[in-house]
């Protein structure tokens, strides 16, 4: 291939890439919620994306009984996905406990969703770390699947109206979470 042919090939590729970029900017990037969400009975979309309703679930609690996310409407909820073998989760848990201690009297709920581990292992870890917020057992992995987890820890903040307003992949600290939930906490 001579220099003229190479130049023509590069020019053609540049024109093709420019046309693709123009098409993408004019038509928009696909809405991820169309691929990660589910249609609700009321016609709304629940998707693990900021700006969409949090995917609903009902699961057993480590302490006994069931928790239903839909029943928590009207208050802010932090949903955190974790596992006992996850070192970043171990680092993050005291931050979540501090957040819970600071805002539980204002209505904050923290749901720490364990990723399919036996309850006795989860209980030992919860006792060791002195956690007092609610621990959800996702024994079949259906909540993990509904939230399309990319890894753990992963944290979703759900507003009182049920909409996801914040997502973090990896450990987060109390200050970061506080800045988001303070908009939803009743001021004295």
SS3 letters for 105-167? HHCCEEEEEECCCCHHHHHHHHHHHCCCCEEEECCCCHHHHHCCCCCCCEEEEECCCCEEEEE
Asked if the model's pLDDT at residue 13 lies above 80, the reply is: no
Overall average pLDDT of the 136-162 stretch:
94
Overall average pLDDT of the 147-157 stretch:
93
**Residue extents of the structural domains in the chain:** 1-30, 39-184
Sign of the dihedral defined by the CA atoms of residues 159, 165, 170, 175, in that order? negative
Give the fold, CATH level 3, of 39-184.
Glutaredoxin (3.40.30)
CB 136 within 8 A of CB 111: yes
Q: What is the pTM of this model?
A: 0.81
Whole-number Å distance between alpha carbons of 29 and 99 = 36
Q: Tokens 């819970």 label which residue?
A: 100
Cross-strand bridge partners of residue 80: 112, 155
Report which of 170, 96, 42 is spatially closest to residue 56, judged by C-alpha positions. 42
Asked if the model's pLDDT at residue 28 lies above 70, the reply is: no
CB 59 within 8 A of CB 67: yes
- Beta strand 58-60 pairing with 45-46: unpaired
CB 180 within 8 A of CB 166: yes
Asked if the model's pLDDT at residue 39 lies above 80, the reply is: no
Structure tokens at 167: 């997502």
Whole-number Å distance between alpha carbons of 92 and 170 = 9
Rounded to the nearest integer, the mean pLDDT of the chain is: 87
């Amino acid at each position: 291939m001579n220099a003229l042919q190479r130049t023509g090939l590069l020019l053609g590729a540049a024109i093709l890439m420019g046309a693709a970029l123009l098409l993408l900017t004019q038509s928009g990037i696909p809405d991820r919620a169309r691929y990660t969400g589910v249609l609700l009975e009321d016609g709304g979309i629940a998707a693990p994306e900021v700006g969409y309703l949090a995917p609903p679930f009902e699961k057993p609690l480590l302490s006994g009984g069931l928790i239903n996310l839909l029943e928590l409407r009207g208050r802010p909820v932090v949903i955190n996905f974790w596992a006992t073998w996850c070192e970043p989760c171990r680092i993050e848990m005291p931050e979540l406990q501090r957040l819970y201690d600071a805002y539980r009297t204002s209505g904050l709920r923290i749901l720490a969703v364990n990723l399919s581990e036996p309850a006795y292992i989860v209980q030992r870890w919860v006792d060791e770390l002195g956690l007092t917020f609610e621990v959800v057992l996702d024994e079949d992995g259906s909540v993990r699947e509904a939230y399309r987890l990319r890894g753990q820890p992963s944290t979703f903040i759900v507003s009182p109206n049920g909409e996801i307003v914040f997502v973090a992949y990896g450990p987060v600290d109390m200050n970061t979470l506080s800045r988001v939930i303070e908009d939803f906490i009743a001021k004295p």
